[in-house]
């Protein structure tokens, strides 16, 4: 799962009227089922995605 926060409307009748946004991930969540039946969960927080 990758989370892309927008925090803006995607409608011509709302906010600034734009329907196209450049989205960058803020967090990447992975889950993997291991052979022993346990679930491995990891979260990576992306900081300053537009800075790099």
Is 4 contained in some domain? no
Helix (H) or strand (E) holding 39: strand 39-45
Amino acid 17: pLDDT:
94
Amino acid 15: pLDDT:
94
Convert the pLDDT of each residue in 6-34 to its tens digit. 999 999 999 999 999 999 889 999 999 99
Is the pTM higher than 0.75? no
* Mean pLDDT (whole number) for 38-51: 85
Is 34 contained in some domain? yes
Is 39 contained in some domain? yes
| pLDDT > 70 in the chain, percent | 92
Q: How many domains does the chain have?
A: 1
Q: How far is CA 22 from CA 14, 19, 25, in A?
A: 17, 10, 10
Is 36 contained in some domain? yes
């Amino acid at each position: 799962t990758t989370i892309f926060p927008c925090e803006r409307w995607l409608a011509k009748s709302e906010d600034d009227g734009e329907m196209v946004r450049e989205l960058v991930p803020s967090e990447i969540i992975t889950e993997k089922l291991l052979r022993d039946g346990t679930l491995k969960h990891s979260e990576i927080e992306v900081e300053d995605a537009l800075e790099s």
